[in-house]
Structure 1
Amino acid sequence: MTDTAIQTRQREIASEHLLFKLIEYVEDRHPGLLDFLEQSLDHLGDPADDASKDDAGVRAIAQRMITGARRQGTD
Structure 2
Amino acid sequence: MTDDTAVQARQREIASEHLLFKLMEYVEARHPGLLDFMEASLDHLGDPATDGTKDDEGVREIARRMIVGARKQGVD
Task: Give the TM-score band, short-chain normalised.
Answer: over 0.9
How is 1:28-67 mapped onto 2 (pairs within 5 angstroms)? Answer: 28-67=29-68
Identity value in percent: 77
Q: Give the total of aligned pairs.
A: 75
Tell me the distance in 2 between the aligned counterparts of 1:45 and 1:62.
10
Runs of 4+ aligned structure 1 residues displaced above 4 Å come to none
Q: Write out per-residue CA displacement over residues 2-42 of structure 1, whole angstroms, 9 at most, x where no aligned residue.
A: 00000000000000000000000000000000000000000
Q: CA RMSD in A?
A: 0.8
Q: Which residue of 2 aligns with 1:5?
A: 6
TM-score of the pair, normalised by structure 1: 0.98
Secondary structure of the 1:9 match is: helix
**Structure 2 portions without partners, runs of 5+:** none
User: TM-score when scaled to structure 2?
Assistant: 0.97
